[in-house]
Amino acid sequence: MLMTGSQIVLEVLAEEKVDTVFGYPGGTILNVYDALYDNQLGIRHFITAHEQGAAHAADGYARATGKTGVVFATSGPGSTNLVTGIATAYMDSIPMVAITANVPNAQIGSDSFQEVYITGITMPITKHNFVVRRVEELADTIRQAFSIANSGRPGPVLVDIPKDVTAAACEFLPAPAPAAPERPAEIDPAVIAEVAALINAAERPVIHFGGGVIGSGASPLVYELAHRASIPACHTIMGTGVLSYNDPLNMGMVGMHGNISAGLAINGADLLLVIGARFSDRVATKPSDFARRARIVQIDIDRSEINKNIHIDYSIVGDVGRVLEAVLPLIERKEHPAWQAQIDAWRADDVVPPASALDGKLHPYDIIHAVAELAGEDAIIVTDVGQHQMWTAQYCGRTQPRSFLTSGGLGTMGFGYGAAVGAQVAFPKRRVIHITGDGCFHMNLNELCTSVSYHLPVITVVLNNGVLGMVRQWQTLFYDHRYSSTSLHRKTDFAKVAEAFGAKGFHADTAEEFREKFSKALGSGAPCVIECRIDEDEMVMPMIPGGSTVKEAYRSAPVVSEL
């Protein structure tokens, strides 16, 4: 059948079972949008307030569903506005296909209006990217983009299409019947047996898992391994929800703002089994001292992660689900009573905030505990980046994977609202709670109009301390209270801003008032913003200073005389 390039784009998206696209139209991509106007393929398009919001929405959609997120943008500033969103997805291994349009082939290289070399710009932050010069190559290129985005370690792929290619026509041939899936590389059974023997022989084992477990869909296998051999487990921020927060073997998050007990367990372990995690500097805060008593086994789909940051004793490169399926039959049922008793003693000394303080102030843990309780286990919690992100990771009480969405690797302020839109579009019947700070919300509150326009009942909780909280915390602890450019002196009334956008706005100044306003927001069925004033000197504790070990962690905010 003869089709234009624009029609081919939509046909291939339908082949790939894409039903949702986020984006923003413009001159060079108008042919695609014109084809979208009368498409009969069931593809929904959501226009955001800004292309960066569209990229984060595609990312949030992918994180929440496990599907590939898709974003459209026009040339020049449209495509460059995607860059931060693409980099965010790249750092966290999120499958995404970005389709950008460019100036016609004849104008490329002439500095024409809104021309930019987007494939060169995004080369370091994509798994791969393409420029399609001929319409005959378009269908197979987009198919290849989806294949790359989802194969191996997932990630973003960009396809740039000159405008004349979207207008040109050629014979479109539907994708051939899928061939038999390529047989995965065999996992050496001798290595599997050796790793299983190490697990069976260990007296002080610890499992450390990350986002790769969620990407693989291997959460039930991690649960089975931990419980079969009674192995305590801890996780990166990206692994939140793999094990329920109340699982007795779950020691919680580890690292700079993780539980002290988890860090001590890793340091005291004789075997550390690392599954789908990459030893970032926020976890291995001092690499030379990390798990130095343990034999370390790393399971990861990306060979480049092996021995990158930490020396590994044993490694298995492959999909963590397939590896665990091979290992589990060889694992003996075992208890480690002495080791568990030691861990329980460490956990008894962890930093645990009170259920509610008696000082009359509204504290972050009051807010997060209330969100977790009132929104329920099925809620999807999305954060921006900073202190509120760490407080949420510590207290959000997630019991299932893909229910806590955050920018872990790039640490993108402004990620949260777009990602919340993507999650709410994916799951219209689930509650999506966006937790943010006043600094971050100023970066993405323009996307309130997206929720209002599409009747998406995203609830935003703003922890407003009037400062850039995490930066100020570092300035307090390590820069002698020299608060350079972190006190914002802004007069924004976020509740009034919400009302101006057509959403509902609330203020809360006490824990009781927050619970009341949050309950109202849950029952409203509308986009809501709840502004919560918290103290500018609230700190995220515990905290391991960069380059230090868990033994040097702050357990509470030091008083001035200690600085």
Q: Which domains does the chain have, with CATH numbers?
A: 2-171 (3.40.50.970), 189-348 (3.40.50.1220), 364-540 (3.40.50.970)
Q: Could you say which of 251, 470, 541, 543 is catalytic?
A: 470
Cβ neighbours of 562 (radius 10 Å): 8
Q: Could you say which of 46, 72, 146, 163 is catalytic?
A: 163
Q: Give the model's confidence band at 355: pLDDT under 50 very low, under 70 low, under 90 confident, else very high.
A: low
Query: b or e along 422-440 (b: 16 or more beta carbons within 10 Å of the residue's beta carbon)?
Result: bbbbbbeeebbbbbbbbbb
CA 309 to chain centre: 21
How far apart are alpha carbons 454 and 358 in whole angstroms? 41
How far apart are alpha carbons 174 and 48 in whole angstroms? 31
Q: In a 3-state reduction of DSSP, which class is residue 305? A: helix
Q: Do 213 and 243 meet the contact criterion of CB atoms below 8 Å apart?
A: no
Helix axis angle, 337-348 relative to 260-268, nearest 10°?
150
Three-state SS annotation for 28-57: HHHHHHHHHHCCCCCCEEEECCCHHHHHHH
Name the percent of the chain lying above pLDDT 90: 93
What element of type H or E holds 218? Answer: none
How far apart are alpha carbons 240 and 253 in whole angstroms? 8
How far apart are alpha carbons 563 and 558 in whole angstroms? 7
CA 535 to chain centre: 27
What pLDDT is recorded for position 284?
A: 96
Q: What's the full length of the chain, in residues?
A: 563
Residue 170 has pLDDT above 50, yes or no: yes
Q: Do 72 and 54 meet the contact criterion of CB atoms below 8 Å apart?
A: yes
Please choose, from the candidates 387, 426, 386, 385, the residue with its C-alpha nearest in 3D space to the C-alpha of residue 403: 426
Residue 114 annotated among the catalytic residues of the structure:
yes
Read out DSSP for 314-352?
A: EEEES-HHHHHHHHGGGPPP---HHHHHHHHHHHHTS--
Residue 429 annotated among the catalytic residues of the structure:
no
| pLDDT 10s digits, 280-298 | 999 999 999 999 999 999 9
Cα-Cα-Cα-Cα dihedral sign, residues 230, 233, 239, 241: positive
Q: Do 184 and 322 meet the contact criterion of CB atoms below 8 Å apart?
A: yes
What pLDDT is recorded for position 561?
A: 43
pLDDT average, residue stretch 459-486: 97
How far apart are alpha carbons 32 and 71 in whole angstroms? 12
Residue 163 annotated among the catalytic residues of the structure:
yes
What element of type H or E holds 299? Answer: strand 295-300
Cβ neighbours of 313 (radius 10 Å): 12
- Report the DSSP pairing between strands 2-4 and 169-171: antiparallel
Q: Give the model's confidence band at 97: pLDDT under 50 very low, under 70 low, under 90 confident, else very high.
A: very high
Three-state SS annotation for 344-357: HHHHHCCCCCCCCC
pLDDT average, residue stretch 420-427: 98
pLDDT average, residue stretch 440-467: 98
Query: CB-based burial of residue 400 (10 Å sphere; 0-12 exposed, 13-18 middle, 19+ buried)?
Result: middle
Cis amide linkage into residue 542, ω under 30° from 0 = yes
What pLDDT is recorded for position 353?
A: 76
Residue 358 has pLDDT above 80, yes or no: no
Query: CB-based burial of residue 232 (10 Å sphere; 0-12 exposed, 13-18 middle, 19+ buried)?
Result: buried
Please choose, from the candidates 265, 273, 318, the residue with its C-alpha nearest in 3D space to the C-alpha of residue 295: 273
Half-sphere exposure for 64 (CA within 13 Å, toward CB): 28
Query: b or e along 104-114 (b: 16 or more beta carbons within 10 Å of the residue's beta carbon)?
Result: bbebeeeeeeb
Name the percent of the chain lying above pLDDT 70: 97
How far apart are alpha carbons 20 and 417 in whole angstroms? 17
Residue 112 has pLDDT above 70, yes or no: yes
Residue 405 has pLDDT above 60, yes or no: yes
| pLDDT 10s digits, 19-41 | 999 999 999 999 999 999 987 89
Token reading at 67: 């599907």
| Residue 490, φ and ψ in degrees, nearest 5 | -95, 150
Residue 393 has pLDDT above 70, yes or no: yes
Token reading at 130: 């393409």
How far from 470 is each of 121, 413, 491, CA to CA, in Å?
30, 12, 20
Residue 562 has pLDDT above 60, yes or no: no
Q: Could you say which of 16, 51, 531, 538 is catalytic?
A: 51
Three-state SS annotation for 442-483: HHHHHHHHHHHHCCCCCEEEEEECCECHHHHHHHHHHCCCCC
Q: Could you say which of 114, 340, 342, 400 is catalytic?
A: 114
Residue 200 has pLDDT above 60, yes or no: yes
Residue 470 annotated among the catalytic residues of the structure:
yes
What pLDDT is recorded for position 560?
A: 46
Residue 342 annotated among the catalytic residues of the structure:
no
| pLDDT 10s digits, 176-187 | 877 766 667 788
pLDDT average, residue stretch 149-162: 97
How far from 480 is each of 319, 485, 557, CA to CA, in Å?
47, 14, 14
Half-sphere exposure for 131 (CA within 13 Å, toward CB): 18
Q: Could you say which of 113, 332, 373, 496 is catalytic?
A: 113
What pLDDT is recorded for position 466?
A: 97
| pLDDT 10s digits, 299-342 | 999 999 999 999 999 999 999 999 999 999 999 999 999 999 99
Nearest 10 degrees: CA dihedral of 128, 132, 137, 138? 90
How far apart are alpha carbons 234 and 111 in whole angstroms? 52
Q: Give the model's confidence band at 559: pLDDT under 50 very low, under 70 low, under 90 confident, else very high.
A: low
pTM of the model: 0.96
Average pLDDT of the chain is: 96
